[in-house]
C-alpha cells in the first residue's frame, strides 16, 4: 500500500511553517493586547491556525492510500533553469543574448527536441521582446553585454 | 446616479478610444487564451499586471476584465471540439458539446455556446447594476468589525464550498494571509518577516506571486499535457446555423443558467465553475428527456455556458461594491486597482463614477464585440487549436520574466518568480489550490487592518463580532460552513472505513 505522501508531507511541512511563524512572531515582534494589537499578534494567530490545519491534513493521511503522482522533473528543471539564467544574465549580458539562451534552455523540455524550430523560436521571441519591451515600453535594460 | 443614467455615462467613458482599444485587446486576447488549453485567464491576467502600470486605471481594469469574460467565450471551443476544456469554467460543456461535435454538429454547439454566453453576460450586467447600487448604499453602514467578519466568511466559503478537502483549502488561505503579513507593518512600521532583505520591505510582490503561481507553475504542468491535443475538425460559417427546432431549445435553458449564474457569481466563494455545474444539473433534472444529456443535448451546452458568463460578470458585485473579491481572479483585479491607488468599495460609486460605470458599460460593449467577432471568425479560433504549446510556452516564460522585471527593475523579482513557480508546481502536485493562497494574500492586509480597528474601537472586547447584527450574521454563517465541512469530512471518512472493511 502506498501512503498518501503529498498530504502527509505537505501537512507536516505546513505545520512546521505554522509553528515557525508562531514562535518567530511572538518572540521577535510585540504581541500587544487585544485592544491594541502589536505587529506580532496577527501573524502569531495565523501561525497557530496553520499549525493546527497542517496536522488536520497530515494525521488522517497516515493510514490512507494515496493516488500516485507524476512529477515532470525534466519540464520543471528546464523551465526553472531558464528563468534563473534569465535573472542572472539580464543586467550583465543584456536582453538579446539572455533571451536567446533562455528560450533554448526552456524548449529542451518540449517533446520535439530538434534544434531547428528551437532556434527559430528563440529568434522570434527575442525580436518580439526587444520590440515590445525595449522600443514599446522603453524599459531601461541593456540589449548587449557591456552596455 | 440611477442605473440607466449611470450606464449611459459609462458608455461615454467606455467608447473613448484609449479605453475602447484596451477593451478590444482584452476580449480578443481573452478569447485566444480561452481557446488554448494550457494557459488560462488567471495566468494571462497575471502576465498583464505589469503592463497596467502604463495604463490609466480605467483602461487597465477594462482590459483585465475583458480577458476574463473573453476567456469564457473561448473556453467552450476546445471543450466542444476536442473534449479538452480550455478553461475550468467550460469543463461541463464537454459533456454535451463534444458528442454534438462527433455527430457533425460542432458548428451548432459553438453557436449555442456563443449566443448563450452573450445572453448570460447581459443578464449578469443587469444584476450587477441592480445589486451593486443596493449593496454599496447598504455597505455605508458597515463598520470595521463587519468588514473583517465578511472577508473571513468569503475566505472560508471559497475554501470549503464544493471542496473535497476543506482543510487543504483553508491551509492555503492561511498561508496566503501569512505571506500578506510580510513587509512593513502599516500600524507600527515594524519590518515583519523580511529577514533583512530590503526588497521585501514593500511586501511580497503581487506580480511575482501571481506570475510564479499561475504562469510558471501552469507552464511546467502543461508542457506535456497540452501537446496531446487532437486535430480539431474544420468548422465553416454556415455550419453554425442551428435548425429551428434546435434554436427553440436555447432561450429557456440559457435564461435559467443565467439566473443561476448571476446569483452564485455574486456570492463569495461560489464562482463560475460551480454555477456551470449547477446549471447543467438543473437542466438535466427538469428536462423531459434526461436521457439526451451526455449524448449531445443543446440544453446541456446553453445552460452552463450562460451560467458561467453570468457568474463572471456578477462576480464583480462584491469586488466593486464592497471592495472584497469573491474569487482569486477578482483578487487579481483588486490587486490591479490597488496598484493604481484605487481602493474599491462602497465609496467608489460616488468617488470614481467614471471607473465604475465605465467598466460596466465596457462589459456591454465587450460582449457585443465578442459575439460579432467570434461568430464570423470561428474558423480562425478553431485553427488556433493547431498551434502546438511548445511554440508558446518559452515565449510565455520570457514575458513573465520581463514583465516582473519591468515593475521595479529588480532581478530579485525574477529569482522570486522562479522560487514561487517551483513552490506553486509542488503545491499543485500535492493537490493544494494555489489560487486560494492568492486570495488570502490579497485579503490579508485588509482583514488585519479591520480586525485591529474593530478591536481598538471596542476596547479589546471580542464580543463586538457578535453584538453588531451584520458582523454576527457573517460570523454565524462562517461557523456553519466550518461545521458543515467538518461533518462532511467525518462522514466521508466513516464511509471510507466501511468500504475498506
Q: For B426-452, how does the pLDDT look when each residue is reduced to its tens digit (9 = 90+)?
A: 998 888 988 889 989 988 888 998 899
Identify the closest residue of chain A to B426 by CA–CA distance. Answer: A71
Q: Summarize the confidence of residues B287-308 as an average pLDDT.
A: 89
Contact B398 A87 (CB under 8 A): no
Chain A residues lying within 8 Å of B430, measured CB to CB: 6-7, 9-10, 69
Asked if the model's pLDDT at residue B128 lies above 80, the reply is yes
- Residue reference for cell 453576460: B121
Task: Report how far residue B238's alpha carbon sits from residue B317's, in angstroms, rounded to the nearest whole number.
Answer: 38
* CA dihedral angle for residue B351, residue B352, residue B353, residue B355, rounded to 10 degrees: -170
Contact A82 B192 (CB under 8 A): no
Residue B426 confidence (pLDDT)? 93
Residue A12 confidence (pLDDT)? 93
Asked if the model's pLDDT at residue B346 lies above 80, the reply is no
Of B397, B455, B461, the CB nearest to A102: B397
Q: Give the three-state DSSP class for B410.
A: coil
| Mean of pLDDT over chain A | 88
* CA dihedral angle for residue A114, residue A116, residue A117, residue A118, rounded to 10 degrees: 80
Chain B residues lying within 8 Å of A71, measured CB to CB: 429
Other beta carbons within 10 Å of B493: 12
Q: Are strands B191-192 and B183-184 parallel, antiparallel or unpaired?
A: antiparallel
Pick from A139, A92, A117, A108: which is nearest to B399 by CA? A139
The one-character DSSP state at A34 is S
Q: What percent of chain B has pLDDT over 70?
A: 96
Task: Parse chain A into domains and list their residue ranges.
Answer: 5-61, 73-136
Q: What are the pLDDT digits (tens) for A32-63?
A: 888 788 888 999 999 999 999 999 999 888 87
Distance from CA of A9 to the nearest CA of B (A): 9
Band (B139; pLDDT cuts 50, 70, 90): confident
The two counts, helices (H) then strands (E), for chain A are 5, 0
Task: Report how far residue B202's alpha carbon sits from residue A95's, in angstroms, rounded to the nearest whole number.
Answer: 27
Q: Summarize the confidence of residues B322-336 as an average pLDDT.
A: 84
Residue B362 confidence (pLDDT)? 93
Contact B167 A53 (CB under 8 A): yes
| Helical spans, DSSP H, in B85-143 | 93-102, 106-139
Asked if the model's pLDDT at residue A124 lies above 80, the reply is yes
Task: Report how far residue B328's alpha carbon sits from residue B264's, in angstroms, rounded to the nearest whole number.
Answer: 15
| Mean of pLDDT over chain B | 86
B25-43 b/e (C-beta count within 10 Å ≥ 16 → b): bbbbbbbbbbbbbbbbbbb
Task: Report how far residue B495's alpha carbon sits from residue A145's, in angstroms, rounded to the nearest whole number.
Answer: 64
Give the residue from A38, A46, A116 with the most B CB atoms within 10 Å of its CB, the best one to mutate.
Answer: A46
Task: Give the phi and the psi of residue B123 in degrees, each rounded to 5.
Answer: -60, -40
Distance from CA of B121 to the nearest CA of A (A): 33
Asked if the model's pLDDT at residue B259 lies above 70, the reply is yes
Distance from CA of B289 to the nearest CA of A (A): 37
Distance from CA of A73 to the nearest CA of B (A): 9
Band (B135; pLDDT cuts 50, 70, 90): confident
Of A24, A30, A72, the CB nearest to B221: A72
B109-146 b/e (C-beta count within 10 Å ≥ 16 → b): bbbbbbbbbbbbbbbbbbbbbebbbebbeebeebbbbb
Distance from CA of B125 to the nearest CA of A (A): 34
The two counts, helices (H) then strands (E), for chain B are 24, 2
Chain A residues lying within 8 Å of B495, measured CB to CB: none
Of B188, B223, B460, the CB nearest to A72: B223
Of A14, A37, A83, the CB nearest to B455: A37
Q: Summarize the confidence of residues B173-200 as an average pLDDT.
A: 88
Q: What percent of chain B has pLDDT over 90?
A: 28
Of B177, B390, B418, the CB nearest to A46: B177
Instruction: Report the Cα B154 to chain-centroid distance in Å.
Output: 14
Instruction: Report the Cα B195 to chain-centroid distance in Å.
Output: 33
Band (B63; pLDDT cuts 50, 70, 90): very high
Q: What are the pLDDT digits (tens) for A66-76?
A: 777 888 899 99
Band (B341; pLDDT cuts 50, 70, 90): confident
Contact B418 A35 (CB under 8 A): no
Chain A residues lying within 8 Å of B201, measured CB to CB: none
Residue A118 confidence (pLDDT)? 92
Band (B501; pLDDT cuts 50, 70, 90): very low
Chain B residues lying within 8 Å of A139, measured CB to CB: 402, 405-406, 409
Question: What is the pTM assigned to this prediction?
Answer: 0.86
In contact, B38 and B218? CB cutoff 8 Å: yes
Residues 6+ apart with CB under 8 A from A35: B455, B456, B458, B459, B460, B461
Residue B313 confidence (pLDDT)? 92
Contact A75 B171 (CB under 8 A): no
Q: Summarize the confidence of residues A89-114 as an average pLDDT.
A: 90
Asked if the model's pLDDT at residue B496 lies above 80, the reply is no
Contact B451 A37 (CB under 8 A): yes
Q: Summarize the confidence of residues B360-381 as an average pLDDT.
A: 89
Q: What are the pLDDT digits (tens) for B192-243?
A: 998 888 888 888 888 889 889 988 988 898 888 766 556 677 777 777 888 8
Q: What are the pLDDT digits (tens) for B374-401?
A: 888 888 888 888 888 888 899 989 998 9
Q: Cα dist. B78→A24, B94, B229, B309, B381 in Å?
A: 48, 9, 9, 17, 10
Length of chain B measured in residues: 501
Residue B304 confidence (pLDDT)? 93
Q: Summarize the confidence of residues B75-100 as an average pLDDT.
A: 85
Asked if the model's pLDDT at residue A146 lies above 60, the reply is yes
Contact A87 B415 (CB under 8 A): yes
Residues 6+ apart with CB under 8 A from B484: B160
Chain B residues lying within 8 Å of A140, measured CB to CB: 409
Q: Cα dist. B463→B98, B140, B458, B472 in Å?
A: 54, 22, 9, 9
Chain B residues lying within 8 Å of A128, measured CB to CB: 395
Residue B327 confidence (pLDDT)? 79
Q: What are the pLDDT digits (tens) for B157-171?
A: 888 877 788 899 999
Contact B394 A60 (CB under 8 A): no
Contact A141 B397 (CB under 8 A): no
Chain A residues lying within 8 Å of B488, measured CB to CB: none
More confident residue, B345 or B184: B184
Of B174, B391, B418, the CB nearest to A83: B418
Identify the closest residue of chain A to B227 by CA–CA distance. Answer: A111
Task: Report how far residue B207's alpha carbon sits from residue B196's, in angstroms, rounded to the nearest whole number.
Answer: 21
Of A33, A84, A103, the CB nearest to B398: A103
ipTM: 0.92
Residue B370 confidence (pLDDT)? 92
Amino acid at each position: 500500500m502506498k501512503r498518501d505522501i503529498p498530504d502527509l508531507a505537505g501537512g507536516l511541512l505546513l505545520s512546521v511553517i505554522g509553528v515557525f511563524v508562531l514562535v518567530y512572531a511572538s518572540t521577535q515582534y510585540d504581541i500587544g493586547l487585544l485592544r491594541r494589537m502589536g505587529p506580532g499578534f496577527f501573524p502569531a494567530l495565523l501561525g497557530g491556525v496553520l499549525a493546527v490545519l497542517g496536522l488536520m491534513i497530515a494525521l488522517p493521511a497516515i493510514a490512507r492510500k494515496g493516488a500516485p503522482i507524476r512529477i515532470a522533473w525534466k519540464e520543471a528543471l528546464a523551465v526553472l533553469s531558464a528563468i534563473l539564467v534569465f535573472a542572472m544574465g539580464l543586467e550583465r549580458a543584456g536582453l538579446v543574448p539572455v533571451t536567446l539562451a533562455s528560450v533554448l534552455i526552456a524548449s529542451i523540455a518540449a517533446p520535439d527536441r530538434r534544434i531547428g524550430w528551437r532556434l527559430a523560436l528563440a529568434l522570434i521571441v527575442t525580436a518580439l521582446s526587444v520590440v515590445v519591451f525595449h522600443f514599446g515600453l522603453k524599459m531601461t535594460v541593456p540589449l548587449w553585454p557591456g552596455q | 446616479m440611477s442605473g440607466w443614467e449611470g450606464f449611459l455615462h459609462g458608455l461615454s467613458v467606455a467608447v473613448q478610444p484609449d479605453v475602447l482599444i484596451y477593451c478590444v485587446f482584452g476580449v480578443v486576447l481573452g478569447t485566444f487564451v480561452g481557446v488554448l488549453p494550457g494557459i488560462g485567464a488567471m495566468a494571462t491576467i497575471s502576465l498583464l499586471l505589469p503592463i497596467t502600470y502604463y495604463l490609466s486605471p480605467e483602461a487597465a481594469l477594462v482590459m483585465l476584465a475583458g480577458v476574463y469574460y473573453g476567456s469564457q467565450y473561448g473556453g467552450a471551443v476546445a471543450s466542444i471540439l476536442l473534449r479538452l476544456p480550455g478553461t475550468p469554467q467550460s469543463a461541463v460543456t464537454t459533456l454535451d458539446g463534444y458528442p454534438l461535435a462527433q455527430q457533425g454538429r460542432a458548428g451548432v454547439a459553438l453557436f449555442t455556446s456563443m449566443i448563450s454566453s452573450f445572453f448570460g453576460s447581459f443578464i449578469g450586467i443587469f444584476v450587477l447594476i441592480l445589486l451593486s447600487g443596493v449593496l454599496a448604499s447598504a455597505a455605508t453602514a458597515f463598520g470595521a468589525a463587519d468588514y473583517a467578519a465578511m472577508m473571513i466568511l468569503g475566505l472560508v466559503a471559497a475554501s470549503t464550498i464544493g471542496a473535497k478537502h476543506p482543510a487543504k483549502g483553508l491551509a492555503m488561505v492561511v498561508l496566503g494571509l501569512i505571506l500578506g503579513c510580510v513587509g512593513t507593518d502599516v500600524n507600527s512600521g515594524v519590518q515583519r518577516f523580511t529577514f533583512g532583505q530590503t526588497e521585501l520591505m514593500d511586501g511580497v510582490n503581487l506580480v511575482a506571486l501571481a506570475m510564479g503561481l499561475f504562469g510558471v507553475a501552469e507552464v511546467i504542468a502543461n508542457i506535456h499535457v497540452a501537446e496531446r491535443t487532437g486535430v480539431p475538425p474544420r468548422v465553416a460559417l454556415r455550419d453554425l446555423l442551428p435548425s429551428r427546432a434546435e434554436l427553440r431549445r436555447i432561450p429557456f435553458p440559457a435564461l435559467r443558467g443565467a439566473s443561476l449564474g448571476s446569483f452564485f457569481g455574486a456570492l463569495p466563494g461560489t464562482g463560475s465553475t460551480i454555477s456551470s455545474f449547477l446549471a447543467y444539473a438543473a437542466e438535466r433534472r427538469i428536462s423531459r428527456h434526461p436521457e439526451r444529456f451526455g449524448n449531445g443535448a443543446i440544453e446541456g451546452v446553453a445552460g452552463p455556458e450562460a451560467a458561467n458568463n453570468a457568474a463572471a460578470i456578477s462576480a464583480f458585485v462584491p469586488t466593486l461594491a464592497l471592495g472584497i473579491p469573491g474569487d482569486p481572479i477578482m483578487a487579481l483585479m483588486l490587486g490591479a486597482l490597488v496598484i493604481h491607488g484605487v481602493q474599491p468599495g462602497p465609496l467608489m460609486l460616488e468617488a470614481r463614477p467614471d471607473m465604475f460605470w465605465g467598466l460596466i458599460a465596457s462589459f456591454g460593449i465587450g460582449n457585443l464585440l465578442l459575439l460579432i467577432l467570434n461568430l464570423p471568425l470561428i474558423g480562425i479560433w478553431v485553427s488556433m487549436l493547431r498551434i502546438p504549446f511548445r511554440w508558446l510556452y518559452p515565449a510565455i516564460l520570457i514575458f513573465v520574466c520581463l514583465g516582473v522585471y519591468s515593475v521595479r527593475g529588480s532581478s530579485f523579482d525574477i529569482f522570486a518568480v522562479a522560487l514561487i513557480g517551483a513552490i506553486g508546481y509542488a503545491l499543485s502536485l500535492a493537490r493544494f489550490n494555489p489560487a486560494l493562497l492568492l486570495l488570502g494574500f490579497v485579503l490579508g492586509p485588509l482583514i488585519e487592518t479591520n480586525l485591529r480597528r474593530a478591536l481598538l474601537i471596542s476596547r479589546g472586547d471580542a464580543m463586538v463580532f457578535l453584538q453588531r447584527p451584520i458582523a454576527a450574521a457573517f460570523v454565524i454563517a462562517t461557523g456553519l460552513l466550518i461545521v458543515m465541512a467538518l461533518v462532511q469530512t467525518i462522514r466521508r471518512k466513516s464511509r471510507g472505513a466501511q468500504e475498506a472493511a
